[in-house]
Each structure stands twice: as C-alpha cells, then as structure tokens.
Structure 1
Amino acid sequence: MRSYPLSNLTLHSHFQPIYSLAHRRTVGVEALLRAEQAGVAIPPQQAYLDHDDTQSRHEFDLRVSTEHIRHFAASTPGESWLFLNIDASTLSSLARTQALISMLQQSGVPAARVVVEILEHALEADEILIAGSRLLREAGFLIAIDDFGTGHSNLDRVCLLEPDLIKFDRNLLRSATKQARTRNLLTKLVHLAHEIGALVVVEGVETEADVLVALESGCDLIQGYYVARPALQPDSDEIITRRIDTRWDELMVRELMKRKLARRQIELARQAFVQSAIALMQGTSFTDAAQPMLTLPDVIRCFLLDSTGRQIGRNLNTREAPSRANPKFAPLADTTGAVWSRRPYFQHAIDQPGVLYMSEPYLSMTDTRHCITLSMAIEIDEDLHVLCADVLVPKTMGLAD
C-alpha cells in the first residue's frame, strides 16, 4: 500500500452548503477534504488510512481541521456554521481532544460557529469519546451526531451526549423515498430528535424525490447534491432557493389535494357517526344504529363502551373479521370486555358528553392498522356510554401505507 507522508500532501477545502428549509438560506457548510500529491488527487479516506499510527492520524486530523478553518474564515462571511468531521483518533483521548480545542480556540473563529461532527457508531462503546464531547461542549462548540440511523442506533448514548444537531444517514432517506413505512419512520425520528433538543439535518438529498420526502419529514436542514455540490465556492442561495422552492410548490399543491380528499372522508364519517349516535339515544339497537357507519369504505369497526371504559359486546366490523383476514392477530380479535379507559378517545369523550372527539392517528391493537377513533359520550337508557368508530388514517395524515 502506498503511503502519503504528511509533509508531501497538499490539502484543500471544499464546502457543501447546509440549507435551512424554514429560513430559505444556507446556514452552514460542511468542510470536505481534498488532498493531492504532486498534482495527483488522493482520496480523502486513503489520506487518513495511510496514517495508521494513532498519534500520526491525530496530527493529520489537526492539520486538516486547521486548513478547513483557515479557508472558512477567508471565504465565508456572516454567521454561518462550519461543520467539521473530527477523526475518532482525535477524540480517543482527553489529551488529544484538548489539543483540538486549543487549536480551534486559537483559530479566531468563535466557538459558537463551529459544529464538531461525531460518527454515531463511535458512541457505542467509547466513554472517553463521550467525555471529550463534553469538553467540546463546555468550551462552547456545537456537537452533531453524524450518520444517525446506520446500523444499531444507540439512543441512550445519543441522549447522553445531548447533541445540538443530528445528521440522518443518506441510506435512511434512500429507503424513505421507496417505502411508505420508512417515510413514516423518518418523520417519527425527526420528532424524536426534536424531543431531545436537537435540530435535524437530512443528508444525501440528491433528487427531486429526496427533496419532497425531506420536506414531508419535518426536518430542519438539508444537505446533498440537489442542494449544492461541494466546491471552493458553492452555489449561492439565489440558485439553491430557486431549486427548493419549485419542489416546495409541488408539495403544497399535492398536499392541498390530499387534504381536500381527507376532509371529505372525515366529514362523511362524522356525519354518519352523529346519525348512529342519535339512533342509539332513540332506542335503536347497536347493530342497527351502527349501519350508517358500517357502510362507509374507510370505517374499520364500531364498538360501544360503558362509563368505565369497558367494552360492551364485540366489535361490529365493516370488513372480514380480523381473525380471518389476518390469522396472526386472531388472539386480539375478540375485544369483548376489554377496558379502553386509558385511551384518549375515551377520556376526552367522557369529560365532554355530547361532543364528538377525533383522536390522533395511532396503531390499533386489534389488527395493527393505523387508524383514528371517533368517539362521543351519550346517554342510553339514562346510563352514560361512549360510542366509538375506528376509521382508516387518511393518507394526508402521514400514516397510511
């Protein structure tokens, strides 16, 4: 294997914009190494691999970071962030981490403008790395988890690190463009990152489909070839925003049509639900009163609860019984006597009798389909009951396959 001595390599920095969807402008750049020897380009990974001694690799990492900061300070005005990929060798000891901090502090770039990227898989079993990350945070630098979602994501360690940003791996986006379930997962992961106080960067945005999925996910920042390619002087915001706005307009038109269809679907279900509730209060049997609901194609089932949340009788299903349609869940099909008092649809209904409540989308325990539940507390023979109907989640609500 050919070796590339430190002294013989010429290092350059290319920058790739990290773009805020809300601000509609570039808010940071990731510094990417470009190396050459005697005019011949050297793959960045190879330049690192050929310094296999930990100390030598650390020294090379400091030199690379120094070059990145020098070029950034000279070419990037304003308040944007510099994202630095720091090698694991630098973070593998507190002494080397402190050397990195000292170098960064002497660079003249404020700590609040430097984001140190740490590979997610490196957190798995490295207490020193986590301790070093804390030193960086205490010195005022921002921390980003890079390549989140590759392999086994260690959520407990991610939470322990308290990152300022989490960069989602490009393979997660690739999968989300092809599978509805992964798109739903991507949205949930964005919410999870927000819950722990981190902004989300979706990496690998390379196609129009990628942009649409990223926009739908609710992420904060995007990065990739579709936004801008790495360069000494990457594309301006005027060029980037024009590309992104076109996809945003396309998404808004599509979402408007979906919302119109969803509103119509829900409104029909609500009207039928009120009709069924009135029939029940007038003394009609549950089986007959539920028929207006059961004729709708998007309704899954109707069921009736007593004032304590206990189910009275079996579900009235609009389609083939779950135990026959999907034998895997046959043990869950019979819900007679089940207690649903912890469900929000019961609690909201019982707190406001006569008011129709529509739940948030959730996974039905009966047959593991995503649904919303309509519910209303009504009096039947002077006793309070809660009428419920499960409806398939409209696609615009983001959980339907």
Structure 2
Amino acid sequence: MTSLISDAAGITIGSHFHPIYSLAHRRTVGLEGLLRATADGQPLEPLDAFARIPSTERHRFDLEVATAHATRFQPLAQGPNWLFLNVDTASMLRPDQAARLADTLLATGIDPQSVVLEVLEHALELDIQLIAALTTLKKAGFLVAVDDFGVGPSNLDRICELAPEFVKFDKHLLRGASTQPRIRNLLHRLVHLMHDSGALVIQEGVETETDVLLALESGCDLIQGYYPARPAEHPDRDDVITPRIDARWDELMVRDLLKRKITRRQLELARQSFVQTAISLIQNTPFDEAAKPLLSMPDAIRCFLLDSEGRQIGRNLDSLPGRKAAGKPKFAPLADTTGAVWSRRAYFQHAVDQPGVLYMSEPYLSMTDTRSCVTLSMAIEINEALHVLCADILSPHGTR
C-alpha cells in the first residue's frame, strides 16, 4: 500500500466545514472544506502543515486534502449541497495536474457538479495557465469560485474570461461598507456587476447583525461567516442558522417599510411642487420664477428643463441660498450644462414614455458636483411641445 505524504511528514489530516447559506432559500447550500491538521498530537495551522511538505510533493498533498474533504463531506451534505474546496494555485499550473485533481475527486464518488473549486482573485492575474487549468476543470463539470474579490486591484477582464459560477466578496468590503456610505453604495453595484457577468455573489466575513443587514441590502446571494455558523467538524444545521437570519430579515423589512413611507411622502410633496411649476410654465412664467416650488423642496440641489429630444434648455437653476455644497467646485468644467443631451438617462426616457407621471431615478453621481443624487422628472406640454421638467435631489447617502 502506498504511504501517504501526510503520514511521511507526521501530519494527521482532519476536516472542518464552514456553511455557505442562501438568503433567499433560507437554507445551507454549501460547505467549505477547511484543513484541520495535527502533528505529534498538537494542532497545526494549515500554512504550517503545507510548509512541512516538500515543494515537489505539494500537489500530492493537495490531492490528499481534497480527498479527505470530499470523503467526509458526502455524509454531512443536507440534500444537494456544494463542497467548496480551496485550490493551491502553485500546484495547478499544468494540464496534467488539473486532470489528476479531477480524477482524484471523481474517485471518491462525488458528482463534479457538487464541487466548487475556489481560486484567489489575485492569482488569476499572476499566471494565465491557471485560467486554462480551471477552464479544463469546468469542462469536466466542476464549478469555480473566485475568492477574496475586492482585496487589492480587481481584474474584471480575468473574471469575464474565466466566467466563474461564484465570486466571493472579501470581508474587507463589508467592513468598509459598515462605516462608509460610498462603499455601501458601491457594494450594491458590485453585486449587480457580478450578476451581469453571470456569477452568483457570496459575501464572506458575515460576523455581526450589522453585517447580515448589509449583506441583505446589497442583494448578494449567499453568505458565509461566524454569524450564520462557525466552522466545525459537524457545523450548525439550518434549524439553528435560519432563526438567526430570519430575525435580521424582519428588521430589514421594518426598515424598508419606513423608507417606503418616507419616499411616498417625498414623492407626494414633489408632485405638488411639479404641478405648481408646470402650471406656471404653461402660463409662460419665466423658468427662474416658475421653478421656485421645486427649488424649495427639502434637499433640492437644482432643476432644469429638457426638450423632447433630451437637450437641455438653458442653464441649471441651483437650489435656494444656503443649501449649496461647501468647498471648491471640483467639477467646475462640467458645471455649464446648457445644450447638454440627457436623452440616454433613465429619468428622461421614463418621463417621455409616461407624460404627466412623476419618476424618481436610482441614486447616481451627479456630473456637475461631487454629490450623489436622485433625479425627479415629469413630461409636460409647454406651448403644445413636449418638455421634461427635472429636479436633482440629494440622495439619502449623498454628501453635502
């Protein structure tokens, strides 16, 4: 019988598993296999265990660890779950190594579509051979996850080229989102960006109630961290995990309900202001005078008027004195928007599709200053010609 590399190095291999939980399905859908090793009866950190293995034998040791995880995973799986396995990129750079990994896992009897191979994002940039190896494994039926997205420079070209099934957001994105509104907004957009690339998003590092709420708000698909469950040889099951997450769902629903009530009130006030301004414009009142009701709205930044083709008529009208952004105008070269064409903006397109209906855009960065805003718009007729009346309002996470 061939001796194992771990035996020769005096290492005993063990496995712990860390649940990966679907927020929408309210159940565990995957387990990440984590090496738990001992030497001479004492715990050994995974990096220390690998350091004991000669570099020439590293790939064989990787196969031993993968075999141990796959063998122990199958009795633990709660239904059709995925096994997430970390891939040592240094031992995956040759086609024969990728083929050997596939054969080793298949020999355990596990379905390749139940295995997700995790690779660190920065490794994709270091060696293009790794992408070729992973592509080969994907063709064999295995799934791929890009790990630690958001640590250091992120290369979207590599992600699009590899087309992973999952992207795991690093916990530092979550930490930043908890203290910085701009990162919080960015997190939401990054999730959409990954969805557009065809990947589901796993948020790592979910450790607190706040983290769960941020993950829910971001729209990510799956979560992993100490709050749902800690890694263990026999980790918590869903009858323990789900009540923890449900409590946060309830909290978020209450918060969203309050937000919707506020938004409805804001829209009603805006509608009244739009009607007042529209009537004045129809009566040929100068725009500066007609726009006063709009500019008096809370958190109003500016208003402007577009023709039927989305071209701006005249200049922006700024909010009432005392509400302008402090500091130097960073975007001064873009401040004059007379004649600018906004026909591709959602606020213009929605308005012309439904004349007389007030529309509110998603938050975005204004091109004319450093603030995040939403744009309210409504199509109206002035002198029998279609126009679109617009007002920029400071978004809830905007900066004054």
| TM-score normalised by L of structure 1 | 0.92
Instruction: Check 1:181–1:12 CA distance in 2 against 1; reply closer, same or farther (3 A cut).
Output: same
Separation (CA, whole Å) in 2 of partners of 1:231 and 1:51: 25
Instruction: Check 1:150–1:67 CA distance in 2 against 1; reply closer, same or farther (3 A cut).
Output: same
Does the 8 Å CA contact 1:302/1:388 hold for their aligned counterparts? yes
Does the 8 Å CA contact 1:15/1:234 hold for their aligned counterparts? yes
Q: 2:112: which partner in 1? A: 111
Q: 1:257: which partner in 2? A: 258
Separation (CA, whole Å) in 2 of partners of 1:255 and 1:87: 42
Q: 2:214: which partner in 1? A: 213
Does the 8 Å CA contact 1:146/1:169 hold for their aligned counterparts? yes
Does the 8 Å CA contact 2:377/2:390 hold for their aligned counterparts? yes
Separation (CA, whole Å) in 2 of partners of 1:324 and 1:254: 31
Q: 2:100: which partner in 1? A: 99
Q: 1:345 aligns with which of 344, 347, 352?
A: 347
Whether 2:33 is the aligned partner of 1:37: answer: no
3-state SS of paired residue (1:219):
coil
Separation (CA, whole Å) in 2 of partners of 1:64 and 1:370: 49
Q: List gaps (5 residues or longer) in structure 1.
A: none
Instruction: Show the 5 A alignment for 1:321-340.
Output: 325-340=327-342
Q: 2:80: which partner in 1? A: 79
Q: 1:137: which partner in 2? A: 138
Separation (CA, whole Å) in 2 of partners of 1:155 and 1:124: 10
3-state SS of paired residue (1:378):
strand
3-state SS of paired residue (1:79):
coil
Separation (CA, whole Å) in 1 of partners of 2:245 and 2:381: 54
Q: 2:381: which partner in 1? A: 379
3-state SS of paired residue (1:387):
strand
Instruction: Show the 5 A alignment for 1:144-163.
Output: 144-163=145-164
Does the 8 Å CA contact 2:282/2:381 hold for their aligned counterparts? yes
In the alignment, residue 238 of structure 1 is paired with which amino acid?
D
Distance apart, 1:147 and its partner CA: 0.8
Instruction: Check 1:268–1:52 CA distance in 2 against 1; reply closer, same or farther (3 A cut).
Output: farther
Separation (CA, whole Å) in 2 of partners of 1:342 and 1:27: 40
In the alignment, residue 391 of structure 1 is paired with which amino acid?
I
With 365-374 and 108-117 compared, the bigger mean Cα shift is at 365-374
Q: 1:175: which partner in 2? A: 176
Does the 8 Å CA contact 1:358/1:375 hold for their aligned counterparts? yes
Does the 8 Å CA contact 2:106/2:112 hold for their aligned counterparts? yes
Q: 2:3: which partner in 1? A: none
Q: 1:361: which partner in 2? A: 363
Q: List gaps (5 residues or longer) in structure 2.
A: 1-5
Root-mean-square deviation (CA), in Å? 2.1
Instruction: Check 1:310–1:203 CA distance in 2 against 1; reply closer, same or farther (3 A cut).
Output: same
Q: 1:229: which partner in 2? A: 230
Q: 2:291: which partner in 1? A: 290
Distance apart, 1:381 and its partner CA: 3.1
Provide Cα deviations, 1:9-43, integer angstroms capped at 9, x if missing partner. Answer: 10100011111111111111000000001101111
Instruction: Check 1:28–1:375 CA distance in 2 against 1; reply closer, same or farther (3 A cut).
Output: same
Among the aligned pairs, what percent are the same residue?
61
With 267-276 and 30-39 compared, the bigger mean Cα shift is at 267-276
Provide Cα deviations, 1:58-108, integer angstroms capped at 9, x if missing partner. Answer: 111111111111111233352111111111123111111111011011110
Q: 2:394 aligns with which of 373, 392, 395?
A: 392
3-state SS of paired residue (2:117):
strand
Distance apart, 1:205 and its partner CA: 0.7
3-state SS of paired residue (2:316):
strand
| TM-score normalised by L of structure 2 | 0.93
Separation (CA, whole Å) in 2 of partners of 1:352 and 1:220: 33
In the alignment, residue 74 of structure 2 is paired with which amino acid?
A
Separation (CA, whole Å) in 2 of partners of 1:12 and 1:102: 21
Distance apart, 1:319 and its partner CA: 4.2
With 86-95 and 209-218 compared, the bigger mean Cα shift is at 86-95
In the alignment, residue 34 of structure 1 is paired with which amino acid?
R
Does the 8 Å CA contact 1:16/1:29 hold for their aligned counterparts? yes
Instruction: Check 1:118–1:384 CA distance in 2 against 1; reply closer, same or farther (3 A cut).
Output: same
Does the 8 Å CA contact 1:345/1:358 hold for their aligned counterparts? yes
Instruction: Check 1:15–1:392 CA distance in 2 against 1; reply closer, same or farther (3 A cut).
Output: same
Does the 8 Å CA contact 2:373/2:393 hold for their aligned counterparts? yes
For these two proteins, the number of residue pairs brought into alignment is 394
In the alignment, residue 141 of structure 2 is paired with which amino acid?
G
Provide Cα deviations, 1:251-286, integer angstroms capped at 9, x if missing partner. Answer: 221222122112211221122112211111022221
Does the 8 Å CA contact 1:176/1:182 hold for their aligned counterparts? yes
Separation (CA, whole Å) in 1 of partners of 2:179 and 2:8: 43
Separation (CA, whole Å) in 2 of partners of 1:350 and 1:252: 33
Does the 8 Å CA contact 1:323/1:330 hold for their aligned counterparts? no
